[in-house]
Structure 1
Amino acid sequence: MELLQVLLLSLIQGFTEFLPISSSAHLILPSQLLGWQDQGLAFDVAVHFGTLLAVVAYFRKDLTLLLAGWFGSLRGNRSHESDLVWLIGFATVPAGLAGLLGSDFIEANLRSAWVIAWATIGFGILLGVADKCGQGEKTLLNMTFKFAMVIGLAQALALIPGTSRSGITMTAALLLGFSRVESARFSFLLSIPIIALSAAYLSFKLMGEAGVDWAHMGLGFILSCLSAYACIFFFMQLISRMGMMPFVIYRMLLGGVLLFLFWQI
């Protein structure tokens, strides 16, 4: 990989991983327009761990309380925090199973530019509907097993390239009546186990691979971590005021650009 490719893809991964705009839709553009080859497994591992560290660092206080509550529940002291840990775990199962059972089919049939473009547009429209009609006043204190599983099932749809994991989970939470801030918060907390599982799986595949460029991996890790942290910070500060419509409009434009580009090709 060239240095420019490392810089651009790391920043794209970091900035788009947690925004509801689809990282896959953005990653396909430079590869097609600039003729770049696949970035390789080692780079994927680096940026996954970078974004994982970012979300863990941002929510470190929440995670400390959640883990303390969960360990307390093992001693019989049930709490809201311990319940939320279990709900996040249960909500992770659908995406984990879908990835395990359907990854080969998705890789063979759904990783086309057309699928990414239409998914970017279609799920963007759904996000707009949810933001306009669905959001309420529910907080994570109102999270139940039923709500968590609906959001977890929605997260499994993010295996379709162009959907956006954060976008579809926020959409589901908004439609269930959660506020924008709480929808984003649950989406980000829910991302931790799924990103960790993905990073672990990629790391396992990387074992024994020769010729790893550690300098590029390190740079990718640092840039994706810093950009992802900045993205989460500003998103959480602004989401209650600006809503989801800027992202919906952006998705429409991005999807239109992808359709135009690949129609020409």
Structure 2
Amino acid sequence: MSSTLSLIILGAVQGLAEFLPVSSSGHLALMQIFMGMKGPQMSLDLALHVATLLAVFAYFGRDMATLLQQFIRGFRSPEARRSDGWRYGWSILAGTAVTAALGIPLKPVVEMASQNSLWVGCGLVITGAVLILSRYVPQRDRRVGLLVGMMVGLAQGLAVMPGVSRSGMTIVAGLIMGLAPVEAFRFSFLLSVPAIVGATLLEWLDLEGAFMAYLPQGWVFGFATASLLGLASLVVLKRVSLFRAWWVFGAYCAVVGLGVVGFSLLGVY
């Protein structure tokens, strides 16, 4: 397989799996293991995460700008403190703090687990179970608030483990906390922005300025693929949220995860 084709495949995996509830970290780790890539591909992973971050800005950009304006106005206007932006702003800050407190200490474990297909497979099985069981969460219509932000942030922190879907865990956490499906979708991805930016900065610092030096030739093809398919997967996931069809992705994750666990225990990978 040519290196360019490999990068396009990895970009497609990142773009589709970053937002669909199937774990991009798990799928990227498995693809890199199966392709024989040795050690963490930090520069490539960083580039692909930036690509999907651009997709989030393209999809939610106008919404984010409106909420940010409302949040800033809330510091000087009591009336603005009744807006969505004020509630979302503090909820996102609270959720991000919880995510960082849990996710940063787990970083060494995550890097080790991403090189072990057994860990990745177990993470996918967990994701599958959570998504399938989400069918039994009663639908409510609670507003986003600090407690919701903290609980969804906790789910996001746990989802740093490879194979555990960030979008799946955070959306289901939002549903459990009483958010309507579309609201859970919206808050999940608005909360993801500071987390993805923070993780990207940490990876950049780990590379000590050598980001471009370690990028494989042809990385731009993977970058473009990840960004375009990331935007498409957001559109698909919005529709999935409306119909609460999470069990489809749950069944997929469970089957793939059990298969990976089986192959790992047999010593195939």
Q: CA deviation at 1:35?
A: 2.0
CA 1:229–1:38 in structure 2 vs 1: closer, same or farther (change >3 Å)?
farther
1:252 to 251, 254, 262: 254
Counterpart residue number, 1:128? 132
Distance in 1 (alpha carbons) for counterparts of 2:108 and 2:225: 30
Displacement of 1:81 in angstroms is 1.2
**Counterpart secondary structure, 1:37:** coil
Residue of structure 2 equivalent to 1:53: 54
How far residue 110 of structure 1 moved from its aligned partner, in angstroms, is 7.3
User: Cα deviations across residues 144-195 of structure 1 (Å, max 9, x unaligned)?
Assistant: 2112111111111112221111111112112122222221111111111101
In 2: Cα distance, 1:25 partner to 1:18 partner: 13
| Residue identity opposite 1:237 in structure 2 | R
* TM-fit CA distance, 1:41: 2.4
Which deviates further from its counterpart, 31-40 or 238-247?
A: 31-40
Q: 2:174 maps to which residue?
A: 173
Q: What secondary structure sits across from 1:136 in the alignment?
A: coil
Q: Which residue type is aligned with residue 87 of structure 1?
A: S
Q: 1:126 to 1:238 in 2, by over 3 A?
A: closer
Summarize deviations over 1:110-162 as a string: whole Å, max 9, x none: 753222212211232122212x22141315xx112112111111111112221
How much has 1:92 moved relative to structure 2? Answer: 0.9
- The worse-fitting range, judged by mean Cα deviation, of 149-158 and 21-30 is 21-30
Going from structure 1 to structure 2, the CA distance change for 1:102 and 1:37 (only over 3 Å counts) comes to closer
Determine if the alignment matches structure 1 residue 115 to structure 2 residue 123: no
- Paired residue for 2:92, among 79, 83, 88? 88
- Report SS of the residue matched to 1:59: helix
Is this contact kept in 2: 1:25–1:162, CA < 8 A?
yes
Query: Which sections of structure 1, spanning at least 5 residues, go unmatched?
Result: none
1:186 aligns to what? 187
Asked if 2 retains the 8 angstrom alpha-carbon contact of 1:166 and 1:188, the reply is yes
- Gap regions ≥5 residues in structure 2: none
CA contact (8 A) 2:113 2:161 kept: no
SS in 1 for 2:106: helix
Q: Deviations over 1:33-55 (max 9, x none)?
A: 33233573221221111111101
Amino acid at match of 1:133: Y
State the one-letter code of the partner of 2:229.
Answer: S
Pick closer, same or farther for the CA change 1:112–1:188 going to 2, 3 Å. same
State the Cα distance separating 1:108 from its structure 2 match.
Answer: 4.0
Give CA-to-partner distance per residue, 1:184-210, whole Å, 9 cap, x none: 111111111101111122222334327
Return the match for 2:222 from 216, 220, 223: 220
Amino acid at match of 2:194: P
Cα RMSD (Å): 2.2
Paired position in structure 1 for 2:232: 230
Match of 2:70 in 1: 69
**Partner in structure 1 of residue 263 of structure 2:** 261
> Are the structure 2 counterparts of residues 135 and 95 from structure 1 closer, same or farther at C-alpha, using a change threshold of 3 Å?
same
Distance 1:14 1:218 in 2: 14
Residue aligned with 1:107, SS: helix
Q: How many residues are aligned here? A: 262
Call closer, same or farther: CA 1:211–1:194 in 2, change over 3 Å: same
TM-score by length of 1: 0.90
Calculate percent identity across the aligned residue pairs: 29
Paired AA for residue 131 in structure 2: L
Q: Do the aligned partners of 2:148 and 2:177 also contact (CA within 8 Å) in 1?
A: yes
The CA deviation at 1:228 is 0.5
Take 1:242 and 1:152, find their aligned partners in 2: how far apart are those partners? Answer: 21
